[in-house]
Amino acid sequence: MNLRQLRYFLAIVDHGGVHRAAEALHIAQSSLSQTMRALERDLGTQLFHRIGRGIVLAPAGEGLVGPARSILREVDNAERAVTEIAALRGGSIDVASLSDLAIDPVSTWIANFLMAYPGVQCRVEEGDDLSAVTEKVRTGSSELGFVSMPALGDLECDELVEQIFVLICPPGSEDRWPNPVPISSLRNESFVLAQQGTGTREYMEQILREHGVEPRIAVEIRQREAILPLVLSGCAVGIVPLRVAVSFWQRGGVVRELDPVPATKIYAVYRQGKLTSAASAFLAAARSSLDLWVRALEMADDAETPLIERAAAALEAWDHRLRS
């Protein structure tokens, strides 16, 4: 029994006879009849009763209809999936991201995606705020957007992960800082903060002011990655995501948890309707990357070990598993 025989069998069932089925299949009636006789020989049973010039289903034929439809449906689904994956050997995907998220984690997700689909080109546009990113998605300039607050209106919005922030301090200042550091105790500190108008800057100012801290700005800078060397130089303190803080700690900086813990959520936004196969694959790669990170962090969980050390161990394990 083969797929062609099953398709011919269902064509006879659906069209009510061999003649009409042969016309629909664009084959000779004799060829269709011969194929059905071969199928009956293979199965060792009669599928149709021949009555005059017509046919009706035999009990065995009635029993075959459901399984035959199921088999062909699964084959069609498999072929469609393979075609979509094959389409990802080339082409491109356009992604929009808040500037604060473009370095991490979005760049990590891109790397994960390109490891699986090296032939696809990724283009990333940055936006300073939610409206800038969502407008790129709304107009079709980008298919996916990544933001740190839920989008409103006509866009779909999927929550991906919660991002924890920590305090980074100059090297050699370990004795100055308890762990965790109460946010309210930062009143007299100078900060390196992201540029005014970015989502992270607005969130940091909000958190500090809620705890009675009016931030004193030593340096205001557009590129978040430049915060690390500035704090390493000793000019001020900063507040960055936990994953970003790992590289700072590995370079000799001091990292402390904050109390209460500042955290934001990262969302994927896209237009309503079915995503392209490339966009679906990109989201799957992002979720896979996040799942590996969360599981690695959970495996490294030890209440007696500082969070930054656990995060460093988790990041190393995550990187190893991602590349294996």
What does the alpha-carbon distance between residue 139 and residue 275 come to, in Å, rounded to a whole number?
Answer: 15
Amino acid letter, residue 31: S
What was the pLDDT predicted at 51? 82
What was the pLDDT predicted at 85? 62
Q: What digits encode the pLDDT tens for the residues 269-312?
A: 999 877 888 888 899 889 888 887 777 677 666 667 888 888 88
Q: What digits encode the pLDDT tens for the residues 68-77?
A: 888 888 887 6
pTM for the model: 0.69
Tokens describing residue 230: 């500035």
Three-state DSSP class for residue 266: strand
Token pair 């009636």 in the structure block, residue: 29
Of 160, 42, 50, 172, which is closest to residue 109 (Cα–Cα)?
A: 160
Asked if 255 contacts 228 with a C-beta cutoff of 8 angstroms, the reply is no
What was the pLDDT predicted at 302? 66
Chain-centre distance for alpha carbon 162? 14
What was the pLDDT predicted at 52? 74
What was the pLDDT predicted at 303? 65
CB atoms within 10 A of CB 41: 9
Residue numbers of the chain with a pLDDT score lower than 70: 77, 80-87, 296, 299-303, 321-324
What was the pLDDT predicted at 159? 92
What does the alpha-carbon distance between residue 83 and residue 77 come to, in Å, rounded to a whole number?
Answer: 10
In the chain, the N- to C-terminal Cα span, in Å, equals 41
What does the alpha-carbon distance between residue 144 and residue 164 come to, in Å, rounded to a whole number?
Answer: 23
Q: List, in order of start, the domains of the chain with CATH numbers.
A: 3-87 (1.10.10.10), 92-161+265-323 (3.40.190.10), 163-263 (3.40.190.290)
Asked if 204 contacts 215 with a C-beta cutoff of 8 angstroms, the reply is yes
**Alpha-carbon distance values, 294 to 35, 162, 243, 290 (Å):** 55, 10, 11, 6
What does the alpha-carbon distance between residue 249 and residue 232 come to, in Å, rounded to a whole number?
Answer: 10
Amino acid letter, residue 317: A
